[in-house]
DNA sequence: CGTGAGGTTGAAGGTTCTCAAGCTTTGTGG
DNA sequence: CCACAAAGCTTGAGAACCTTCAACCTCACG
């Protein structure tokens, strides 16, 4: 499998890409690809002169608070990219780091210019970015109005659905190289409470999280227990081209 | 003051607009402008065939949960507009309603096509939308990692800064046609706790909220008590054109 | 003057947090 | 291959923050 397959797969959900467009993605993915390990790709306040495609592994976007606490704002799974709009303001507003080992391609204004020559491809990227925005909105609801139990269940449902969409699940299991503390920073919960909530989810036969691996035992049950409605992920949208211009 | 002045003023922060561009905004703002009163402009799940500019008054974007609770996702103050990207997916992911009386212009794919003929103007809109995205990220941090006291103080600081940027404040006061319940739906707090937190803020001489009007008595104090750092609002960015293309 | 929306207050309880300790796993150097 | 260190996980107890429920108050408005 080529390194850019997953990236292409994500974008192909939003437009039918021709040979030239595939080739350009190949090129951009190969050009400045690096391996990172538990590393920071960019830091809040850095000049916004580059953005990223995660080709393999997992990264997250986050902000640090004055007291050192961290709020994770979103995950970049294999195949996910940053919104090119990041380049529009002088400084970036949040940091990005990778978990474990990851392959990441760095894009610049120059890459964006190349992409801009393919309106169909740019359209796919914008539609893709629009979905990411929708996910961000759901996260406000998640940390705001749901209980710890629902939050965690909802997050796992979301992760499963996003990973499954590009074939990164095995049955109802998937790899998740995070710690319980990372989950806490995502859901605005203490590590201790994440631990207790995970045990509760296991006790109810809904899911287990062991050895950096999530196993969902009862997806319908988890979905209804956490109020998960996948509409906001826009995975079942009509084929590209069949709706409003 | 023309009805589109505030809209123009917001966009002018992100590009120098020429006469033609001003004229187009005038035209779009006049064309399908309506007055609303406590009305819903669009509902989650509606076809994404239109987006909005709030010319006067205040609107908010929100989601309703299954149990009837509401999470407000963002405010549209006078001069604010929706992200044109809303049109890229078949359905909208959240609802928008106005508070009190508001003047709202409705834009469509057709309006967007007209705007598209002015790359400089589109660029301003995208940069503006990028700032809104940055605000959305800060909201995740706000509902996630801050106490009720900090949350409320932070929200007031943000509102003040955004309104002040287009001249909608009088000294350290501004109109805010919301109820305490609305603030609760914004910050994921119960009405009762909003009330108690407002009293605490008043007791400390930081701010008062009476007769739909916020009065900040000690802005530096409020800012430091709530951990507000206005960087994410990008109000002090260099003049358009002086940074990265 | 009655009504309804919104604001205020008190009491009780639940969810989640902090602190602290012990345990398990993983990785590393001798 | 073992010893040790470091990171992560688990558990308990007490406390803080915020919620719910319920009542009462205030004020604008018909």
Q: Interior CA angle at A221 toward A220 and A223, to 5°?
A: 65
Strand D proximity: list residues 181-220 of A with CB under 7 Å. Answer: 181, 191-192, 195-196, 198-199
Percent of chain A beyond pLDDT 70? 96
Q: Considering only residues 90 to 109 of chain B, which have any Cβ-Cβ distance to chain A shorter than 8 Å?
A: 90-91, 93-94, 109
- Does B88 lie at the interface with A, CB-CB under 8 angstroms? yes
Percent of chain A beyond pLDDT 90? 87
- Quick one: CA dihedral B164, B168, B172, B175, positive or negative? negative
Chain B residues lying within 8 Å of A73, measured CB to CB:
137, 140-141
- Residue closest to C7 C1′ by Cα: B195
The shortest CB-CB distance from A188 to any of B89, B136, B144 is to B144
Phi, psi of B14 (to 5 degrees): -115, -5
What contacts 24+ positions apart, CB below 8 Å, involve B238-244? B238/A90, B240/B13, B240/B14, B240/B15, B240/B16, B240/B124, B240/B127, B241/B15, B241/B16, B243/A89, B243/A90, B244/A47, B244/A48, B244/A49, B244/A87, B244/A90, B244/A109
Q: Which nucleotides in chain D have some atom under 7 angstroms from a protein Cβ?
A: 7-13, 17-22
- Does A71 lie at the interface with B, CB-CB under 8 angstroms? yes
Give A241 or B52, the one with higher predicted confidence. B52
The shortest CB-CB distance from B130 to any of A89, A143, A238 is to A89
Considering only A2-6, A27-31, A134-138, B198-202, which range has the smallest mean pLDDT? A2-6
Strand D proximity: list residues 189-228 of B with CB under 7 Å. Answer: 189-190, 192-193, 196
Q: B136, A131: Cβ pair inside 8 Å? A: no
CA dihedral A74, A77, A79, A84 (to 10 degrees): 20
Give the CA distances from residue A197 to residues A138, A201, A204, B54, in Å, rounded to whole numbers and listed in that order: 21, 6, 11, 42
Residues 6+ apart with CB under 8 A from B46: B91, B92
Instruction: Give the distance, in angstroms, between residue A52 CA and nucleotide D1 C1'.
Output: 44
- Cα separation, B124 vs A63, in Å, equals 26
Quote the minimal CA–CA distance from B35 to chain A in Å.
27
- Quick one: CA dihedral A37, A42, A44, A46, positive or negative? positive
Q: A130, B227: Cβ pair inside 8 Å? A: no
DSSP secondary structure string, A169-190? -BTTEEE----HHHHHHHHT--
Assess whether pLDDT exceeds 50 at residue A16: yes
Q: Name the residue of chain A whose CA is nearest to B113's CA.
A: A245
Q: Using DSSP, state whether A168 is helix, strand or coil.
A: coil
Instruction: Give the closest nucleotide to A179 (alpha carbon vs C1').
Output: D8
Task: Say how many C-beta atoms besides its own lie within 10 A of residue A68's C-beta.
Answer: 6
Q: B90, A238: Cβ pair inside 8 Å? A: yes
DSSP secondary structure string, A118-137? -HHHHHHHHHHHHHHHHHHH
Give A46-78 pLDDT, tens digit per residue. 999 999 999 999 999 999 998 889 999 999 999
pLDDT at A66: 87
CA dihedral B233, B238, B243, B245 (to 10 degrees): 50
Ranges of residues in chain B with a pLDDT under 70 are 1, 237-245
Q: Name the residue of chain B whose CA is nearest to A112's CA.
A: B245
Give A84-126 pLDDT, tens digit per residue. 999 999 999 999 999 999 999 999 999 999 999 999 999 999 9
Q: Which nucleotides in chain C have some atom under 7 angstroms from a protein Cβ?
A: 5-11, 15-20, 26
Quote the minimal CA–CA distance from A12 to chain B in Å.
15
- Does A243 lie at the interface with B, CB-CB under 8 angstroms? yes
Q: Name the residue of chain A whose CA is nearest to B125's CA.
A: A88
pLDDT at B1: 64
Query: Binning pLDDT at 50, 70 and 90, where does residue A145 land?
Result: very high
- Angle, helix A148-164 to helix A219-226, in steps of 10 degrees: 130
Average of per-residue pLDDT values in chain A? 93
CB less than 7 Å from strand C: which protein residues? A 147-149, 188-190, 192-193, 197, 211; B 179-181, 191-192, 195-196, 198-199
Contact B45, B135 (CB under 8 A): no
Q: Name the residue of chain B whose CA is nearest to A145's CA.
A: B188
């Amino acid at each position: 499998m080529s390194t850019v397959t997953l990236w292409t797969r994500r974008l192909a959900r939003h437009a039918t890409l021709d040979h030239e467009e595939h080739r350009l993605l190949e090129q951009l993915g190969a050009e400045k690809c690096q391996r990172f390990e538990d590393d920071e790709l960019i830091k809040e306040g850095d000049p916004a002169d580059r953005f990223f495609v995660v080709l393999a592994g997992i990264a997250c976007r986050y902000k640090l608070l004055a007291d050192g606490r961290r709020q994770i704002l979103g995950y970049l799974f294999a195949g996910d990219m940053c919104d090119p709009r990041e380049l529009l303001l002088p400084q970036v507003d949040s940091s990005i780091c990778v978990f474990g080992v990851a392959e990441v391609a760095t894009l610049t204004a120059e890459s964006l210019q190349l992409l801009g020559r393919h309106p169909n491809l740019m359209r796919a990227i914008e539609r893709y970015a629009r979905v990411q925005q929708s996910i961000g909105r759901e996260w406000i609801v998640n940390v705001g109005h749901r209980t710890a139990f629902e939050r965690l269940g909802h997050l796992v449902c979301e992760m499963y659905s996003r990973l499954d969409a590009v074939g990164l699940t095995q049955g109802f299991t998937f790899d998740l190289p995070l710690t319980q503390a990372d989950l806490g920073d995502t859901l605005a919960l203490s590590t201790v409470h994440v631990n207790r909530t995970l045990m509760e989810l296991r006790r109810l036969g809904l899911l287990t999280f062991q050895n950096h691996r999530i196993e969902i035992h009862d997806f319908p049950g988890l979905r209804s227990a956490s109020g998960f409605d996948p509409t906001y992920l826009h995975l079942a949208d009509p084929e590209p081209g069949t709706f409003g211009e």
